[in-house]
Amino acid sequence: MAEAVTIDRVRKVYASGLEAIRDVSFGVGEGEFVSVLGPSGCGKSTLLMMVAGLLAPSGGEIRVDGTPVRGPRREIGVVFQSPVLLPWRTVLDNVLLPIEMLRLGRSQYLERARQLLAMVKLDDFAGTLPRELSGGMRQRASICRALIHDPEILLMDEPFSALDALTRDQMGQELLRIWEHHRKTVIFVTHSIREAVFLSDRVFVMGHRPATIVQALAVTLPRPRRLDIEETDDFNRYVGVLRKAIDSEGGVAPLPNLLPGLRRQSRRSETAE
């Protein structure tokens, strides 16, 4: 499998002197779904923004298809934590924004935009303004926007973290359906262990600042995956391994020993915080 994205000894120190990322290296294969998991503020979003070419690494190099990233690139689509739809554009026009930015023919992509919207069940809302959509619908529209120019690589920065738990599960399943259909290379940043296991081929756990990769885990659960896979022992074994990796990093404030029962419960809770 050819490497679509190579992260090679990347380091990030902010102008303030804060060392966000000390040394991170990993490769992502073509068509692979990779998650970067870590507690809030560990620098995982920073890492993703560097892959997107929106931030420059302080050291090391990021390569996409073998060439170093110097700035935003056409073959990358990004889904941000908030949908950032433009309020004056209809859903359809928001989806077509990258086409306009890249100066591609709008008319040639109109049909594709409609197909993408149909895929996320937003076809009836093509002419609607974002303010009339729910949070989940907005994020689905922003996923369509990230896919409109048919990028090879999809970068997702905690895209479902602002959604309620039910919508979030649903979006995860929908994302897998899209991914099985369009087979992009995906780097998905999250602080939800279950989300990472459910979606990914491989999960990289980032530790606290200054961050390094503290664990890499291949998830070999069969695909296509459905939500009920989360009930299986296999699934929960992966969750356990990742939980341990995060805990050993001090991702969760240790609870007093007087409450061993609570401690066990917190291990099963969904997020790493």
Partner 1 sequence: MNDRVRGVGLPIAVAVLTLLAWEGLVRTLGVKAVVLPAPSVIVRVLLTRSDLMLEHLWPTFYQIVLGFLISVGGGILVAVLITYSRIVRNGFYPLIVVSQIVPKVAVAPLFVIWFGMGTPSRLLLAFLVAFFPMTINAAHGFQSVDEDTLRMARAYMGGRWQIFSKIRVPHALPHIFSGMKISITLAVIGVIVAEFVASQQGIGYLIVFANGTLDTPLMMAAITALSLMGLALYAIIAGLERVVVYWQAPSEPGAEGMA
By CB under 8 A, name the binding residues for partner 1. 49, 52-54, 72-74, 76, 78, 80, 82, 84, 86-88, 97-98, 100-102, 129, 131, 145, 149
CB atoms within 10 A of CB 268: 12
Pick the closer one to partner 1 by CB: 12 or 202: 12
Pick the closer one to partner 1 by CB: 88 or 107: 88
Q: Please give the Cα distance from 27 to 74 (Å, whole number).
A: 20
* Contact in structure between 30 and 55 (CB atoms under 8 Å): no
Residues recorded for the chain: 273
User: Minimum distance between the CB of residue 140 and partner 1, rounded to whole angstroms?
Assistant: 16
Pick the closer one to partner 1 by CB: 82 or 212: 82
Pick the closer one to partner 1 by CB: 131 or 181: 131
Taking only Cα atoms into account, the Rg of the chain, rounded to an integer number of angstroms, comes to 19
User: Minimum distance between the CB of residue 125 and partner 1, rounded to whole angstroms?
Assistant: 15
User: Minimum distance between the CB of residue 82 and partner 1, rounded to whole angstroms?
Assistant: 6
CB atoms within 10 A of CB 242: 22
Q: Which two tokens stand for residue 270?
A: 């969904």
Q: Please give the Cα distance from 77 to 195 (Å, whole number).
A: 20
User: Minimum distance between the CB of residue 145 and partner 1, rounded to whole angstroms?
Assistant: 8
Pick the closer one to partner 1 by CB: 53 or 136: 53
User: What are the C-alpha distances in Å from 67 to residues 53, 149, 166, 182, 270?
Assistant: 12, 20, 40, 23, 37
Strands (DSSP E) contained in the chain are: 3-13, 19-29, 33-37, 59-64, 67-68, 76-79, 153-157, 185-190, 202-206, 211-218
Pick the closer one to partner 1 by CB: 86 or 227: 86
User: Minimum distance between the CB of residue 206 and partner 1, rounded to whole angstroms?
Assistant: 21
User: Minimum distance between the CB of residue 222 and partner 1, rounded to whole angstroms?
Assistant: 34
